[in-house]
A and B are shown apart, each in its own frame.
Chain A
Amino acid sequence: MKDALLAALREIKDPEVGLNVLDLGLVYRVDFDREKGAVLLKLTLTTPACPMGEALVAGIRRRLLQVEGVEEVRVELVFDPPWTPERITPQGRAELDRLGRPAG
């Protein structure tokens, strides 16, 4: 189940940076309650004032609800620890390179 959830999250791209939310390092934790069919997601944003935040959370929720067995999605936004560019995965850095945005 976890693999299916992570695969779904990989399909959601940050509309500004162009990376998916996993490789961008926005997802802190994914839990699944099999009995209730509930996903609990701990998520951060690149900044608490992220103008895309609400759209991103709504998009994640829509996508996860399409995963078989998921009945409910709870998103908890956390800003401690705050996001930093170091959270971008090596795959994310490679993708930024491919997009012409080599990581500093």
Chain B
Amino acid sequence: MSGVPGGLSSSNAPSFRLVQTHFLVGILGFLVFSFLLVLKADSLQGHFFQPVLLGLTHTCVLLWFLPIAQGALLQLVPVLFQVRIRSEGTAWIALAFLFLGASGMAGHLWIYETHWGLPFSAALLALGLLLYVLNLLATLSRATSLDLTGVHVIAALFHLLLAAGLGLALAWNLWNPFLLGDHLEVLKAHAHLAGLGFFGLLVMGMVYRMLEMFLLAYKVRPTFGWVSFLAANLGLCVLLVDFLFGRAPFLTAIGASCLVVAILAFTAQVVFLLRARFRRNLEAAWWHSLASVFWLLVAAAEGAALFLPGLDRAAHDRLALAYAVAAFLGFVGSIIVGQLYKIVPFLVWLERFSPYLGLKEIPAAGDLLPRDLSEWQWVAMQTALLQFTLALLLGLPWLLSMAAVFFAVSALAFAAAVGRVYLCRP
């Protein structure tokens, strides 16, 4: 009997434990964040710069989104680009730094304790991110070719480093002020680099490839994907200059317009891929992905509306929070939940069921996910997001509390659905 043929991308995959530990940290982060949101739903009011809101945001982004995005990249980069992760040991160390730094950051911001512990936590986090990015760039440097997804991943990693650098500067500035510019403007640059620069580009690049691979969407020209990529990077660069070096209305307009073009072109590329797909049936994973695109469009509309003349301060603050909710919880949160519904069953199937393929009847990867639970989870999460949006736009505090409860229910349902996948055995 001969061995397994060489060149198979799946043989480059990292260890099951490495990726699962990232996911486990992220799932726990999702539960903690949703629990805190129920406790402090009323903090989603007023100006965005307030301690509890900063603590909540960093819990969401650093302890829910980031470990899952990093774990998914560790799994997908070797498979998609047919290279081995440069160093799994470095990936473990980076995760430890991420967890320690992120927990410290979220905790310090939550109670607004700005002594040395805050920049120290930010430095741990930045070090973890630096190790992670260098490890992945070293991995990608061995890829023989880079396509649309590859350039998105590389650009996203650079934006992540920039976001981490600005985050460290902001944390230091709260402890020992040194920034010459306005702290809040630097914070906006940091948030846009993290939200759109890292998560946005990463999601866009990965969605193109996931749609092609899982839904068998072939023969679609990537033209709109490239337009989106170029416009997103140009828009982010312009906005970065605008935020960091003094606001100029024409720069803001150019940057925002580029981002709107990027989002519309991304949507067009996704629509073309969906129309070309060979598998018509869409499960909960893809419902989340479609919802994610919807929330990105909502965020673009709300972001553009922030420039409307005549908005009073209170309306502007509410709209800014609705924009952040649509961009982070709607766009990034939905896609992360949806793609885990694809990736976790696949990994569990590969680890536990694949050795029995050819020996006995085994379920398909998608059959491991409890369908009803994942569909109800989608309903609860999207209901919560709609409630958050309405509550913020219309100024209805009671609806914020209800939305937070729905969101927490969706987090529990998600953990239960994914937990059941992990318990599946042949």
Contact = CB atoms under 8 A, between A and B. Distances in A.
Interface in A7-57: 11-13, 15-18, 46-57
A88 B13 CA distance: 28
Contacts, number: 114
Given A53-B9, A61-B1, 19 more contacts: A13-B364, A15-B357, A15-B364, A16-B364, A17-B279, A46-B213, A47-B212, A49-B81, A51-B346, A55-B350, A56-B357, A58-B358, A59-B358, A63-B359, A73-B1, A73-B2, A101-B281, A103-B280, A104-B276
B216 interface: yes
Given A17-B216, A103-B278, A57 B4 contact: yes
A19 to B, nearest CB: 10
Contacts of A47: 212-213
A94 B15 CA distance: 38
A16 B2 CA distance: 26
Interface of A: 11-13, 15-18, 46-66, 72-77, 84-85, 88, 96, 99-104
B287 to A, nearest CB: 15
A15 B4 contact: no
Interface string B341-353: 0000010011001
A101 B216 CA distance: 11
Interface of B: 1-2, 4-5, 7-11, 13, 79-82, 212-214, 216, 218-219, 276-281, 346, 349-350, 353-355, 357-359, 364-366
A15 B2 contact: no
A102 B280 contact: yes
A3 to B, nearest CB: 18
Given A53-B10, A85-B218, A58 B213 contact: no
A76 B214 CA distance: 24
Contacts of A58: 4, 354-355, 357-358
Contacts of A11: 358
A49 B75 CA distance: 12
B218 A52 contact: no
B301 to A, nearest CB: 31
Nearest to A104: B278
B11 A99 contact: no
A63 B365 contact: no
A76 B4 contact: no
Contacts of A17: 216, 279
Contacts of A46: 213, 216
